[in-house]
Each structure stands twice: as C-alpha cells, then as structure tokens.
Amino acid sequence: MEQLKVDLGKRSYPISIGSNIIEKDNIFWPLKPGNQAMLVTNKKLANLFKDHVLFHLRKSGIKIDQIILSDGEQYKTLNEMELILSALLEKKHSRDTTLIALGGGVIGDITGFAASIYQRGVRFIQIPTTLLSQVDAAVGGKTSVNHLLGKNMIGSFWQPSSVIINVNYLKSLPYNELISGIAEVVKYAVILDEPFFYWLEENIQLILSLNDQAISYCIKKCCELKSYLISLDEREKNLRALLNLGHTFGHAIEVHSGYGNWLHGEAVSVGMIMAARTSELLGYLDKQDLKRILILLKRIGLPIKGPKNMSAASYLPYMMRDKKVISGEIRLVLPISIGQAKIYSNVDKNIILSAIKRSQ
C-alpha cells in the first residue's frame, strides 16, 4: 500500500492506494470504533462490493447504515441526493456522522455534496471504484449534482477526510468505462507532464490489460499531479482550472446528448481534441503534438469526433453556461505543447466553431 497526502493545512487528508486495502487495519481513518457512518452506493455496485466493505466496517466497530441509489449519470440529481438526507434523518445521524461513498464519480459527487450540507457539513470518505474516479473525481473536494441545463452546476467544495483506492475494483469494470477513465489520465499528461505522456505512449497496452504495476503507477501519478494543483488552488481561482482541459466542450456533448448517453471520459476525449485544434488554429500548438494526442486517444479506443447529430453552433449555448465563463466571455483551457496548458479568454468564436467542425 502507498500513501500520498493532499496538503491543505487543517483540511489535509491521505490517499491510500493498493490491492485489497479494504482489509487493512485502520484503513477507514478517521473513523474509530463506536462511530456512526452511512455507506452510499448504487444498485450495481451493491451486488459487487457492498457486503465486503460492510463486513470490514463492522469488524472495525463502526455503527454503519446504508443507502442504495440508482445507477447512472441521469440520476445525479437533487432528488436522488434528498434520498441520502432523508435516510440520515430517519436513522438519526448526528453531526459527528461520516458518509462513505462507494462508487464512481456520480456516487462520489452526490455523497460529497450531501455531506457538505447535512447539518451544515459532516465528514465523508471516498472509496472510488472506477478508474475515472480513482485518478480524478474522488480527489479534490468538488461535489455536485447536475441540472437539465448544465452539468455539475449545483454543488460545493467539500474535501473528503480520506480517499481509499482499492485497485482490485478495476477488474470488474466494463471495458468502455475503463477507457473512459484513461481519458482523464491523458488529460493530466497533456496539461502538466510531458514525460508522463511519453510513458503512456510506451505503456498504454499494459494499462488497458490492467497490469498491476502499470495501473498502480498511473493512478499514483495522476493523484500526485492533482494533489499538487489542489494544494496551490483549492477553489479553482486560477491554476486548478487547467484540470478542465476538454471539459467545456465535453460537458456540452453530455448535456446535449442526454446524461449517460456519452460517458464522461468519451466526451472529454473529444473535448481535448477540440481544444487542441483550437490551440493549433491560434498558432499555439504544434501540428506534431496534436497528432500525438490524436494517435494516443485512438490507440486507447476513445472517440475523437463529436456526435454526428450535434452541429458546431449548438455547442456554444452550453459553453456559455460553463462555470469558467466570466462576464459573458468563454474561458478555454488550451494545450500549447504536450505537458503545458494555459487558460485563454476572448477566443474568437469563429475559431472555436472551426475547431469543432474539424472534429465532427
């Protein structure tokens, strides 16, 4: 087992990474014998992992209740979150309770948001079960639910007390969800770490085959990169926004297509290409770097073209609702080379439309 630390002063917390780590002593820190907690998961994961986690929580002396939510991005709603709040009240959970999110990005986000508002804030622990949540969504304290008009528009910053990454969970992951998570891995390399991008080019088959050593290194590297940015900019005032490479375009695809019809990583993959083409058209990104990004995403099996039934012009209304918009101006994260990205305002909308059209 390896441990990293997200350094946020009094809100600092550990990330534990390893195989079968649910069985380790004191893994559910900061929970202690006699503490009250609520496990939140979905119907699909309840059949796979819930009983194993509950067994070890009870073995640790935790008084544990549970709630099982519906599975899917379309259920990342205020209504579904209210089920968590109602269960906490019905079971008489007090301010010293802890919510435990067992699931992917949807369960992690909705549980974290519930924790941030229940009795004005209680602790929560992340146990991410998908690659996307292990390398990205479970770390950093962004919690939210979706709105019909925009993804992740209702939420809060609320850091977990700990993140427990059990690499073994990935073996049950459907292949399309595995590669969806790898899109976020590529994102980290493009914005922050050229040597890591080169490593991905050399080792992508090992990752796709879930080689223990390769996947563990990959998860740890992404957590280190994200922890670094979060420690500098917890609430996304500037640098942390780099983590949104591809997301402004990608969220437009997700909302337009209907939540759940495109996996998040699939939409981000197309969004990264659109951002890279925008950067190339502006004269920032070299054609060879764009080609390397395209080739890597294709080798992974990720889409590099947007939905056929979505016109270039239809992206803009969604992009104008993006959380990075300030004073009516779209701000885009653009790669300027592999390993370096910047945030740009006032990008000509005709260039954005041209980049989208080249990615259709």
| 159 & 14 share domain | yes
Q: Among 172, 192, 208, give the residue marking a domain's end.
A: 172
pLDDT for res 138:
96
| 48 & 137 share domain | yes
Tell me what the mean pLDDT of segment 326-333 comes to: 79
What average pLDDT is seen over the chain? 95
**In degrees rounded to 5, what are phi and psi of residue 157?**
-95, 120
| 282 & 135 share domain | no
Q: Among 172, 192, 209, give the residue marking a domain's end.
A: 172
| 167 & 191 share domain | no
Q: Among 141, 172, 203, give the residue marking a domain's end.
A: 172
Range in 114-123, 152-161, 328-337 the model is least confident about: 328-337
Most confident of the following: 70-79, 293-302, 310-319, 339-348: 293-302
DSSP 277: H
Which residues are within 8 A (CB) of 140 and not within 5 positions of it... i.e. 6 or more apart? 6, 159, 226, 230, 240, 243
| 152 & 220 share domain | no
* Position 300 confidence tier, pLDDT thresholds 50, 70, 90: very high
| 74 & 50 share domain | yes
Range in 77-81, 136-140, 235-239, 284-288 the model is least confident about: 235-239
Q: Is the pLDDT score of 303 beyond 80?
A: yes
C-alpha span between 215 and 204 (Å, rounded): 10
* Position 326 confidence tier, pLDDT thresholds 50, 70, 90: low
Tell me what the mean pLDDT of segment 265-271 comes to: 97
* Position 323 confidence tier, pLDDT thresholds 50, 70, 90: low
Q: Specify the number of domains making up the chain.
A: 2
| 72 & 134 share domain | yes
CATH of the domain at 295: 1.20.1090.10
| 133 & 203 share domain | no
Tell me what the mean pLDDT of segment 257-271 comes to: 95
CATH of the domain at 144: 3.40.50.1970
pLDDT for res 327:
56
| 34 & 157 share domain | yes
| 217 & 246 share domain | yes
| 184 & 320 share domain | yes
| 100 & 61 share domain | yes
Residues belonging to the active site:
120, 142, 184, 226, 236, 240, 244, 247, 251, 264
Tell me what the mean pLDDT of segment 136-149 comes to: 94
Vertex 225 angle, CA 23 and 325, to 5°: 120
Tell me what the mean pLDDT of segment 217-243 comes to: 94
pLDDT for res 330:
84
Q: What is the number of residues in the chain?
A: 360
pLDDT per residue as tens digits for the range 22-70: 999 999 999 999 999 999 999 999 999 999 999 999 999 999 999 999 9
Closest listed residue to residue 74, CA positions, set 98, 110, 112 = 110
pTM here is 0.94
**In degrees rounded to 5, what are phi and psi of residue 111?**
-70, -45
Q: Is 205 exposed, middle or buried (0-12, 13-18, 19+ CB in 10 A)?
A: exposed
Provide the domain limits for residue 268.
175-357
Are the C-beta atoms of residues 232 and 242 closer than 8 Å to each other? no
Rg, Å, the chain Cα set: 20
Tell me what the mean pLDDT of segment 302-307 comes to: 97
Vertex 269 angle, CA 190 and 148, to 5°: 125
pLDDT for res 302:
98
Are the C-beta atoms of residues 27 and 1 closer than 8 Å to each other? no
pLDDT for res 217:
97
pLDDT per residue as tens digits for the range 197-224: 999 999 999 999 999 999 999 999 999 9
Looking at the chain, the whole-number percentage of residues with pLDDT higher than 90 is 92
| Residue 122: alpha-carbon gap to chain centroid | 21
Vertex 263 angle, CA 153 and 79, to 5°: 45
C-alpha span between 92 and 136 (Å, rounded): 32
